[in-house]
Structure 1
Amino acid sequence: MTCPYNVLFLCTGNSARSIIAEAVLNREGMGRFRGFSAGSKPKGDVHAYTLDLLARLNHDTRAARSKSWDEFAGPGAPQMDFVFTVCDQAAAEECPFWPGQPMTAHWGLPDPAAATGTEAEVRLAFSETYRMLRNRISIFVNLPFGSLDQLSLQDRLDGIGRPKADVDKGREPA
């Protein structure tokens, strides 16, 4: 793998979690990473609260769009180094073949687009999703890629997405 690393975030609808992850990685990755997002069954539109949250946090949302993962499996698509699922449904689906055999991990999070309650409660769900993704992506971009073998890197990638309860029980990789 060579820099910049291409990273694809997948979820079912590609309207919230994966779009947020793409935006966060493109900022946090500081040119060493290029983030992309897609869905197995894209909604066709990015959720309005996703766009609002990202804009309020000074992310560029001009290129944000809901798209199928097929765009990244065909000829001419950028070759991915990493593919992360951010929802349980997409993780359970049969994914397309990714050229180059990228490393994969599951970083499942609740879908803020499915949140219910008052507008403030729903917006809080989007903010929490952003916070969790930003934390995970910050850990990811700061991994010592040059000093990790494939197995150690895979353990670290899996550990980033592991629920906090598992980490508290000492199941986090070294």
Structure 2
Amino acid sequence: MTGCRVTRKQRVLFLCRDNATLSILAEALLRELDGLHFDAFSAGLEPADKVQAAAMGELRHGFSSLELLNPKSWLEFTSEWAPQMDFVVTLCDESARVDARAFHGAPTFRHWTLTPSAYGAAGAVENAFWQILKRVEDFIAAERRPWPSLKLPAVAGCTPDACDLLLSGQ
């Protein structure tokens, strides 16, 4: 097709210390809310053995692809065969100190500061979920690139109605 462009999804890596709660929530929310435009990943500086049960509890209702969620080391995303990220979003002060030069290309770095209610207290994971949900929604609104318009080759005598019939296969 003449004039047709293909745009790849933007890749986003969420980083936190243990990749057991905050970055997992962010990964799952971005994938669920706009997986058509973004590839979401998460990792930790010191990955936990498993995802925190409370985080999975927040995600269990209606979320797809939960089997993809598991703690990983951020070093998996700095190796020579790692996918190049467009964005790296840090979710804790420790991960905010990661050297940007470790990543391929020049990803845009963002740091999301969560309020203290997201850490350590009763209901902390639920509070973190709602804070991260708002941040992910704002991120999507600000960073989603529109899909390129489809340009069909000109066909002699083709009216818009006739072209619609050709596209629908009738």
TM-score (norm 2): 0.73
Following superposition of structure 1 onto structure 2, how do residues 69-148 of structure 1 map, counting pairs within 5 Å?
69-94=74-99, 97-109=102-114, 115-116=120-121, 121=122, 124-143=123-142
How far does residue 64 in structure 1 lie from its aligned partner after superposition?
0.8
Percent of pairs identical after alignment? Answer: 34
Amino acid at match of 1:126: V
The 1-side partners of 2:78 and 2:37 are apart by 22
How far does residue 145 in structure 1 lie from its aligned partner after superposition?
5.6
Amino acid at match of 2:129: Y
Structure 2: gaps spanning 5 or more residues = 1-6, 147-170
How far does residue 44 in structure 1 lie from its aligned partner after superposition?
2.1
Amino acid at match of 1:128: N
| SS of alignment partner, residue 8 of structure 2 | coil
Tell me which stretches of 4 or more aligned residues in structure 1 moved more than 2 Å.
Answer: 56-60, 92-96, 108-114, 144-147
Q: 1:112 to 1:79 in 2, by over 3 A?
A: farther
| SS of alignment partner, residue 109 of structure 1 | coil
| SS of alignment partner, residue 23 of structure 1 | helix
How far does residue 129 in structure 1 lie from its aligned partner after superposition?
0.8
Greater relative contact order, per chain length (Cα 8 Å cut-off, separation 6+) = 2
Query: What is the CA RMSD across the aligned residues, in angstroms?
Result: 2.3
The 1-side partners of 2:9 and 2:56 are apart by 26
Indicate the structure with greater helix content: 1
Structure 1: gaps spanning 5 or more residues = 148-174
The 1-side partners of 2:116 and 2:41 are apart by 18
TM-score (norm 1): 0.72
Aligned with 2:69 (options 55, 64, 68):
64
Say whether residues 1:16 and 2:21 are aligned partners: yes
2:55 maps to which residue? Answer: 50
Q: Structure 1 residues 100-109 or 78-87, which shifts more?
A: 100-109
1:126-172 CA distances to partner (integer Å, 9 max, x unpaired)?
A: 1111111111111111126669xxxxxxxxxxxxxxxxxxxxxxxxx
1:162 maps to which residue? Answer: none
The 2-side partners of 1:68 and 1:111 are apart by 25
Q: 1:24 to 1:97 in 2, by over 3 A?
A: same
**Larger Rg over CA atoms:** 2
Q: 1:27 to 1:85 in 2, by over 3 A?
A: same
